[in-house]
A and B are shown apart, each in its own frame.
Chain A
Amino acid sequence: MKANMTEPENKQDNDLREIPTWARRYAENRTLPMLVFFGIFVVGSAAFGGLSYLTAWAYVTGHRALAVAAMLVLCGFAAWWMWFSFVGGQRIMRRITARLYRSEGTVSVGPAAEPDIWRKSPAVGFVFMFCVIASVGLGLLGVLPIRYMQPISALYFVPFCVYLGITQRGTGSPFMSLWPTLYGIHAILLVAGAPIYFGGKWEALNMLIPVIGYGVLAALAGHIYSRVALHRLRMLAASPEIPDETGAQEQ
């Protein structure tokens, strides 16, 4: 305790000095939009899978008109999905973020218009997309065994996340680093022969759990921490209603 300071003075000073730390912690960990993004991703993937199944079923059972219609819808959906992933998604996510946090207001810890990966490092974005398409394609062709899809994807997914973490340092939730960490650990365990492989009709879970499950877990941890940070921040910053001594009246 500093000399000549009373206990209440010391506490008040410490509380005030903690405000910037908790404000930053809260702002960094507003990960609710990530949860929405994962939700959109799951619904989109399910719709894609459903339409693909419908197209194949209609073709095999001889419902040609239905097969053509389903194929057209599938192509339209695929085009929208590409647009959402690379162009319009960011704008939509910004609107969703503003709506989700309307009651709490807007706060940022990074530049107002953070450029996305396609403008900032297009080469990295293209290499990542190439790796995704190549590994999925090889998996569908049967060249790449499903068992090794997740460990192989970890070879580019983890470095990509680390790259994003470094380039956006200080603007994102530290909890989101849980995602590539768990993804990497999952890959190592799978290669080491740990009994975490899903067979038969549950095979899709081998990718869904690491991609969606760990991502949701990381975003959820960030969101919960943001609630704690906001609670703490409001306690520290709660201000007595002292009018400005210039005489300004309430509007």
Chain B
Amino acid sequence: MTELDADVHQPTRLRILMLLSGVDSADFNFLRTTLGLSKGNLSAHTSRLEEAGYVEITKGFNGKIPNTSYCLTELGRSRLAAYWQALEEIRSSGGTPPS
């Protein structure tokens, strides 16, 4: 039975990864406002994605304002592609993906 990557399958993290897959990098503020998340929630999810090696976090300054930007790693990109493939396999075999 095909397994789904739990780090990717979680709805908020899946959205973060999908968003980052379309751009080179995005900062904390962009992710927070676009996904409509609270600071703490986004921070917790991005930390988990960083621990998994799917997202790279860069801390810097935008002028004098601290800025944290995120980009998808190669591992994250390949896991995201593998996730969609696994999801299709589950559905085509008549199974239901875990919620």
Contact = CB atoms under 8 A, between A and B. Distances in A.
Interface stretch (A16-24, A62-70, A127-135, A176-184): A16-24
A199 to B, nearest CB: 47
B75 interface: no
A24 B92 contact: no
Query: What bracket does the count of chain A residues touching chain B fall in?
Result: 35 or more
B23 A237 contact: no
B69 interface: yes
A246 B44 contact: yes
A61 interface: no
Interface in A212-250: 230, 233-234, 237-246, 248-250
25 contacts: A5-B91, A9-B91, A13-B87, A16-B15, A17-B18, A19-B19, A23-B23, A24-B23, A27-B22, A27-B23, A95-B63, A98-B63, A106-B27, A237-B15, A239-B11, A240-B12, A241-B37, A241-B41, A242-B12, A242-B41, A243-B41, A243-B44, A244-B41, A251-B39, A251-B40
Contacts of B30: 104-107
Nearest to A248: B44
Interface of B: 10-12, 14-15, 18-19, 21-41, 43-45, 47-48, 62-63, 65, 67, 69, 84, 87-88, 91-92, 94
Contact of B38 (A19, A27, A230, A250): A250
Contacts of A2: 88, 91-92
Nearest to A238: B36
A106 B39 contact: no
Contacts of A193: none
Across chains A and B, which 7 residue pairs bring their CB atoms closest together, nearest first?
A: A250-B40, A105-B30, A20-B22, A105-B29, A248-B44, A23-B22, A244-B44
B4 to A, nearest CB: 13
A104 B91 contact: no
